[in-house]
Structure 1
Amino acid sequence: MEDIQMIQEMLTNHTMQTDRDAAVMLPLVREADQSLSLLFEVRSLSMRSQPGEICFPGGRIDPDDKTPEAAASRELCEELGLSLTDIHMLSPLEPIMSPRRGTIFPFVCYIAEPNKICPNQAEVSSTFRIPLTYLLENPPEEHQTSFHFTFSEDFPLHLIANRSAYTDRKQTYTEHVFHYDGRVIWGLTARIMVTFLSILKAK
């Protein structure tokens, strides 16, 4: 393996693995008074992963999905009973890295006829909306969450320079929590919302 050109070709033709990567959609809908709201899902209690929690439409990127955008659109249609013609794509947001879930690709879309929404009860128990003005005027709570790193007994920590810096290492993150009408939104969903709302506030 000493051929630089061969290595370059391997790197150029390399395709990122997407077995854990996911794509989500932030759907905007217009209310009767012409104001805009952000639509959320409540996950079905029968779901193995995060039952009953609040999220945006989305899921893992399948091998058949040509792009993360295609995956987000497909998942939204499957979960909300819509077709691709019901979705008006607005823009991608900055991808988010998650240690457990790979890369999350968020997109913002507009659903012109929300009355067509018919949630797939196997995945979505219900949907609800939060006015965009409320989210812009009511910032989330900020809480600190810490993660502790530990090494297995056979890890060669004694061979690492400055190993004392990694012993009982702790990393702290800021966790955002939104409250609305008795509902709590946190985790990756809240993190994506913070990015989206910060762009709107900056403009």
Structure 2
Amino acid sequence: MPPKSWVSRFRPHKIPFRRRFARASVALIFRTTEDGGKELLFIQRALREGDPWSGDIGFPGGRLQPEDTSARAAAERETREETGIDLSRHGHYRARLSDLITRHHSRWRPMVVTPYVFEWLGPKAVAPNHEVERAVWVPLDYLAAGENQGQLPWRTPLGTLNLPCCHYQDACIWGLSYSMLQELLTLTSEICMKDSQN
């Protein structure tokens, strides 16, 4: 049995009656580098006509299908399909983060998205499918650094909103992915502070 990770004690917020909504799930996959640092896996979605999120950078995942036995199983399946990473073989489930609510791509119906955290202990190679432009491992230290934070202008019928984001190369992490990332970073920061006080 591997030791419990720094996310194992977290108690996530769960949206009441979430099973009555459309569901989706994503996988936040981290690995430990040779120098003891942590890296998080992101994918950049391929450009596709009619897809409002095409080109965005985020986490592997997608909607639950009838064959999925759970939201976590859906995250594992989608990750395998999109990246070739088989979490059931070389991944260790660590925790779930808080549910988030969004909507279907082309509808106004609400959809609950559940993030799951995994540690990856398998091969370094990633094999993206046609839905993914690229897959990258980004150091957690980079993601937490203030100088890499910024704002993304988002036009709405009521005016332009400046949404928080994290810049990475020629893209930025924003929206639901940014919220999930911030929860993970807050969690790891709290765990590190507690460990330093012991």
Do they fold alike, i.e. is TM over 0.5? Answer: yes
1:202 maps to 2:190: yes
Trace 1:71-86 onto structure 2 (pairs within 5 A). 71-83=74-86, 84-86=88-90
Partner deviation per Cα, 1:35-84 (whole Å, 9 max, x = no partner): 21111001112474222211100000112211111111111111111322
Alignment of 1:26 with 2:35, yes or no, is no
Distance 1:191 1:173, change over 3 A: farther
Structure number with larger C-alpha Rg: 1
SS class of match (1:189)? helix
Residue 63 of structure 1 aligns to a residue whose secondary structure is coil
Could you say if the C-alpha distance between residues 77 and 178 of structure 1 is closer, same or farther in structure 2, counting changes exceeding 3 Å?
same
Aligned-residue offset at 1:114:
4.1
Structure 1 residues 202 and 141, CA, compared in 2 at 3 Å: closer, same or farther? farther
CA distance in structure 1 between the partners assigned to 2:143 and 2:186 by the alignment: 11
**2:120 matches 1:118:** no
Q: Larger deviation: 106-115 or 72-81?
A: 106-115
SS at match of 1:191: helix
Match of 1:10 in 2: none
Residues 158-202 of structure 1 deviation map (CA, whole Å, 9 limit, x = unaligned): xxxxxxxxxxxx7x9873210123321111111111111111222
Q: Counterpart of 2:135?
A: 127
The residue aligned with 2:44 is 42
Higher relative contact order (CA 8 A, sep 6+): 2
Whole-Å separation in 1 of the counterparts to 2:152 and 2:170: 19
Aligned partner letter, 1:128: V
Unaligned runs of 5+ in 2: 1-16, 105-109, 192-198
| Equivalent residue, structure 2, for 1:192 | 180
TM-score w.r.t. the length of structure 1 is 0.70
User: What one-letter code is carried by the residue in structure 2 that aligns with 1:193?
Assistant: L
Q: Aligned partners of 1:25, 1:38: CA distance in 2, in Å?
A: 10
Instruction: Give a deviation string over 1:113-165, Cα, whole Å, max 9, x none.
Output: 24242111x111111121111222337335797966xxxxxxxxxxxxxxxxx
Question: Which deviates more from structure 2 when the two are superposed, residues 132-141 or residues 61-70?
Answer: 132-141
* Letter aligned with residue 134 of structure 1: Y
Q: Percent identity?
A: 28
Q: Which runs of 5+ in 1 are unaligned?
A: 1-13, 149-169
What RMSD in Å do the two structures reach over aligned CA positions?
Answer: 2.8
Aligned length: 167
AA in 2 matched with 1:199:
L
Residue aligning to 2:55: 52
Task: Give the aligned partner of residue 106 of structure 1.
Answer: 115
